[in-house]
Amino acid sequence: MSAHSESGKLKTVFIKKAAAAFIDDAHISQHWESLNYLGKPEITKALAEYEAFEKIFIDNGTEVLYLPQDDTVNMDSIYCRDAAIATDRGMIICNMGKEGRRNEPAAEHRAFEANGVKVLGFITSPGTLEGGDVAWLDEKTLAVGHTYRTNEEGIRQLSALLAPQGVTVMPVSMPHYKGPSDVFHLMSVLSPVDKNLAVVYSPLIPIIFRNELIARGFELVEVPEEEFDSMGCNVLALAPRVCLMVKGNPITKSRLEKAGCKVIEYEGSEISVKGGGGPTCLTRPVTRD
C-alpha cells in the first residue's frame, strides 16, 4: 500500500459528512455567500446526496474514516482534501490560502491524532498550500500547482518535507483564470485515473506541463468546455480506471468509457456544484493499493 498514488485501489479515506460540515440551514445561511458558493445549498437535498455518495465507498470496500463536526470551521470543511496531504511517512498538514478556511488544517490534525494517523509535518506561514493543488504523477513525483491558494514558500516547505522520501516536487505555474476569489486548483484541470491515463481540461493547463504529461506516457481524456463548470474534470479514481464523477457530464463520461473506464456517477448539485468541489475535493485518501 502507498499514499503516493491518485489511482490505485482506494483502501482508506477520510470524509466529512454533510451533516457535520453544513450542520443546518442556519449555518449554511451564515456562510455560503462569503465563501463564494454559486448558490445556497439546500440542506435536505445535501444530506440525501451525501448519504448516496458515502455508500459508494462502503460498497467499494474502502475503509471510511470520519472527520467530526468542529465548531472552529465552516461548511467548506466538507472539501476535506484541501487541508492535508497524505504521504507514506504521514500526513502533511497544510496552511490554507483561502482566509475563510484557515482553521481547517488544525481541525483535521486533531482528527488524525484521534484516529492514530501519523503526521509528518506542517506547512507554516508565510507558506500556503492546499491539497487540491497537489497530484501524484507517480510514486516519486508530486505535481503542485502554484496558484492563488498555494504559494512559492508553501511549495518550498513541501519539497523539504518530501525530499527525504526521494520525492521530486514539480511546480506547475497556473493561470490567473477568474482571480483570487475563485476555487481554482491544479486538480480543477487534472485528475489522474490510472498510471497512464488522466482527465484534463487543456485550455487551462500550462503547455509545458501538458507536454510533460504526454512525455510521461499519459493518455489524456479531454473535458469539453461545456463540461468544465459542471466539474467534468473532477474525477476520483476508486481503482485504476474505476472513476467517480458528478452526474451531468455525459461527454466526459463517454470519453472515459471509450478509454476503458468504468464510470460511477453521483448526484452532486448541492454538495459539489454549488461549492465547486467534486469527488476529489470531498475526500482525503490515505492509502491505496
Q: Has residue 209 been placed in a domain?
A: yes
pLDDT in tens, 27-59: 999 999 999 999 999 999 999 999 999 999 999
Within a domain: 228: yes
Tell me if 5 is assigned to some domain. no
Per-residue pLDDT tens digits for 74-110: 999 999 999 999 999 999 999 999 999 999 999 999 9
* pLDDT number for residue 183: 81
Q: Is residue 4 part of a domain?
A: no
Residue 1 lies in a domain: no
- Residues near 144 by beta carbon (within 8 Å), at least 6 away in sequence: 129, 133, 134, 150, 155, 158, 169, 170, 171, 172, 186
What pLDDT does residue 182 have? Answer: 84
The x, y and z cell numbers of residue 18, run together, are 454533510
Residue 143 lies in a domain: yes
Q: Is the peptide bond before 175 cis (omega within 30 degrees of 0)?
A: no
Average pLDDT estimate for 142-169: 98
pLDDT at 96: 97
Answer yes or no: are the C-beta atoms of 89 and 83 closer than 8 Å.
no
Number of separate domains in the chain: 1
* pLDDT bucket at 282, cuts 50 / 70 / 90: very high
Give residue-wise pLDDT tens across range 171-197: 999 999 999 988 899 999 999 999 999
Whichever domain contains 53, its CATH number is: 3.75.10.10
Q: Which domain holds residue 58?
A: 10-288
CB atoms within 10 A of CB 232: 28
- Alpha-carbon Rg for the chain, nearest whole angstrom, is 17
Question: Average pLDDT in the 55-70 region?
Answer: 98
Size (the chain), residues: 289
